[in-house]
């Protein structure tokens, strides 16, 4: 079974620039999550999708972050404009039916904002 | 707001030692507690605990949950350098039909040869 694919692996941008991350979940997984993990902290949920609908985006800074999951498969997370404090690893995870025991994480994208 | 607190934040041990990691939590409508190992970027699943007092084991790792006192421990016996990682505790709460995972900050374990 192929895992959760994310790209790019690394990204360095200047503050106020825009950046986008891509995630391809495990085939058949209806639920997709984006997490932000700042150095020294645990992952923090940004947004959760069930198919192509948003289940929870309460911790997504909507003034600069946006995410979509067209056709209920791949997802993109965008930051526009980026701030220094957005430097983090962005993890994508997917699961079959919204329960966490089947969560599989991707390798993440490490974003550095300078 | 759901809360997960792990202790210690970090520890350094020598090969062969036993380590005990702690996780305490407050969550609305508890469903499960999960342990993950994070070596580089992707957390990998270790255990899922839903019932009090039932120990789960996998090789040298074991974990138990106390739902009355709201905590869990993760034990690693006969540690090896490959056990060096960040160990994350996460708690799953349920709101209507939505499941939400809240993570602790992790415990960094360093095993020296």
In a domain, A112, yes or no: no
In a domain, A65, yes or no: yes
pLDDT tens-digit readout, A39-92: 999 999 999 998 889 988 999 999 999 999 988 899 999 999 999 999 999 999
pLDDT at B41 (0 to 100) = 79
CB within 8 Å: B99 and A99: yes
In a domain, A105, yes or no: no
Q: How do the pLDDT tens digits run along chain B, 113 residues long?
A: 789 999 999 999 999 999 999 999 999 889 999 999 999 879 999 999 999 999 999 999 999 999 999 999 999 999 999 999 999 999 988 877 677 889 999 999 999 99
Percentages (nearest 5) of helix, strand, coil residues in chain B: 5, 65, 35
Contact A74/A5 with Cβ under 8 angstroms?
Answer: no
Query: At A72, which CATH number?
Result: 2.60.40.10
In a domain, A46, yes or no: yes
Identify all chain A residues contacting B41, using CB atoms and an 8 Å cutoff.
89, 91, 107-108, 110
Contact A48/A42 with Cβ under 8 angstroms?
Answer: no
Spans of all domains in chain B: 3-106
**Which range of residues forms the domain containing residue A56?**
5-97
Say how far apart CA A91 and CA A100 lie, in whole Å: 15
In a domain, A12, yes or no: yes
For residue A10, the distance in angstroms to the closest alpha carbon of chain B comes to 11
In a domain, A110, yes or no: no
Q: Would you say domain B3-106 falls under CATH 2.60.120.10?
A: no
In a domain, A80, yes or no: yes
Please give the tally of structural domains in chain A: 1
pLDDT at B1 (0 to 100) = 77
């Amino acid at each position: 079974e192929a895992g959760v694919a994310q790209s790019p692996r690394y990204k360095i941008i200047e503050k106020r620039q825009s950046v986008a991350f891509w995630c391809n979940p495990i085939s058949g997984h209806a639920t997709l999550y984006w997490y932000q993990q700042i150095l020294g902290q645990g992952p923090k949920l940004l947004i959760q999708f069930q198919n192509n609908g948003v289940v929870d985006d309460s911790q997504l800074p909507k003034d600069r972050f946006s995410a979509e999951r067209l056709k209920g498969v791949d997802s993109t997370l965008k930051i526009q404009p980026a701030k220094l404090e957005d430097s983090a690893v962005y993890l994508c995870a997917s699961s079959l039916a919204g329960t966490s025991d089947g969560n599989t994480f991707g390798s993440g994208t490490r974003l550095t904002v300078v | 707001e759901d809360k997960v607190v792990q202790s210690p934040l970090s520890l350094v041990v020598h090969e062969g030692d036993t380590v005990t990691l702690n996780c305490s939590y407050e969550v609305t409508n508890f469903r499960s507690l999960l342990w993950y190992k994070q070596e580089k970027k992707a957390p990998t699943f270790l255990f899922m605990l839903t019932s009090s007092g039932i120990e789960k084991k996998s090789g040298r790792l074991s974990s138990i949950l106390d739902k009355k006192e709201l905590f869990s421990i993760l034990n690693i016996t006969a540690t090896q350098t490959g056990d060096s990682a960040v160990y994350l505790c996460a708690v799953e709460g349920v709101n209507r039909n939505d499941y939400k995972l809240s993570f602790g900050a992790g415990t960094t374990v360093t095993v020296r040869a």
